[in-house]
């Protein structure tokens, strides 16, 4: 089986935004690497996909003009070798590492999550994911009941389990994401209740995690308010810095929502249920 290797360069903020849109548009893998003053985006896509259509669709979704790009063909063996050479262990918090299956953990004392890149569900490398993971490392309380809404790869739920959470539910509207989350949780020895939103277990949660996008997060406020008990918390990511105040304001009617952190143009919003 052959693959398209697509390469393009943008400034850092545009590259981050387009990388997410490329995954949503059907890219099989996206990697970001510094390239002087810009960021290089390396995309792998099935040979059946049309690169121009993929780039144009992602750019439109990201609100960008279609950028210039280069395309090369790769066979399976080349794809595997290139993928594994691009992705190594990632330190996402003080003692938390995301480690692909073909690597040895760099620190025997580290808290390790085994997660292979490749699918469009997140591996911890994106700033929006790191913001959540760093907060969890410092603030998650043992035994808390946690909901990961829009779980993707399951990384947030898995890390919550590694950090001592109690009952953990993970949900997504994409059945493939649910399957990926279940497999990743099993590989990491973490027990999750993985289900579509309408099939989630009843009751409220101590902590709701959601790394999605600002628009859906605003829409989900009533859902999260109903699922969080008084004193319970929300932790929202996938939000551009320019959108953070709007998201916090949308949650202010039910939560003491504030901007908790900002990094590289991305924001983390959270607060307790009143």
- pLDDT tens digits along 66-107: 999 999 887 655 554 555 555 677 788 888 888 877 778 877
Q: In the structure encoding, which two tokens stand for residue 236, read together? A: 């929202």
DSSP string computed for 204-252: -EEEEEEES-HHHHHHTHHHHHHHEEEEEEEEEEEEEGGGHHHHHHHHT
Q: Answer whether residue 267 shows pLDDT above 90.
A: yes
Q: Of the given ranges (3-17, 47-61, 252-266), which has the lowest mean pLDDT?
A: 3-17
- pLDDT averaged over the chain? 88
The CATH class that applies to domain 122-272 reads alpha beta
Position 252 scores a pLDDT of: 97
Domain boundaries, the chain: 2-85, 122-272
pLDDT digits (tens, 9 = 90+) for 11-31: 877 887 888 889 888 887 787
Q: Is the pTM of this model over 0.75?
A: no
Q: Answer whether residue 64 shows pLDDT above 80.
A: yes
Superfamily of the domain at 2-85: ACT domain (3.30.70.260)
Position 125 scores a pLDDT of: 66
Position 213 scores a pLDDT of: 85
């Amino acid at each position: 089986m052959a693959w398209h290797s697509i390469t393009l360069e943008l400034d850092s903020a545009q590259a981050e935004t387009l990388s997410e849109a490329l995954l949503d548009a059907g890219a099989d893998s996206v990697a970001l690497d510094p390239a002087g003053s810009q960021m290089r985006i390396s995309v792998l896509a099935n040979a059946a996909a049309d690169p121009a259509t993929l780039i144009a669709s992602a750019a439109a979704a990201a609100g960008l003009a279609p950028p210039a790009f280069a395309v090369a063909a790769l066979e399976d063996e080349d794809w595997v070798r290139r993928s594994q050479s691009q992705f190594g262990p990632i330190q996402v918090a003080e003692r938390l590492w995301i480690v692909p299956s073909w690597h040895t953990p760099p620190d025997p004392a580290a808290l390790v999550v085994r997660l292979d890149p490749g699918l469009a569900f997140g591996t911890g490398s994106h700033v929006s994911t790191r913001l959540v993971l760093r907060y969890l490392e410092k603030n998650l309380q043992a035994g808390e009941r946690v909901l990961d809404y829009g779980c993707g790869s399951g990384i947030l739920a898995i890390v919550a389990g590694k950090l001592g959470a109690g009952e953990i539910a993970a949900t997504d509207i994409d059945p493939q994401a649910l399957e990926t989350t279940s497999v990743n949780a099993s590989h990491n020895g973490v027990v999750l209740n993985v289900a579509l939103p309408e099939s989630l277990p009843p009751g409220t949660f101590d902590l709701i995690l959601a790394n999605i996008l600002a628009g859906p997060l605003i829409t989900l406020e009533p859902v999260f308010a109903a699922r969080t008990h008084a004193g319970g918390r929300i932790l929202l990511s996938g939000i551009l810095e320019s959108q953070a105040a709007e998201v916090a304001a949308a949650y202010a009617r039910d939560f003491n929502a504030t901007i908790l952190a900002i990094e590289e143009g991305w924001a983390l919003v959270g607060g307790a249920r009143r």
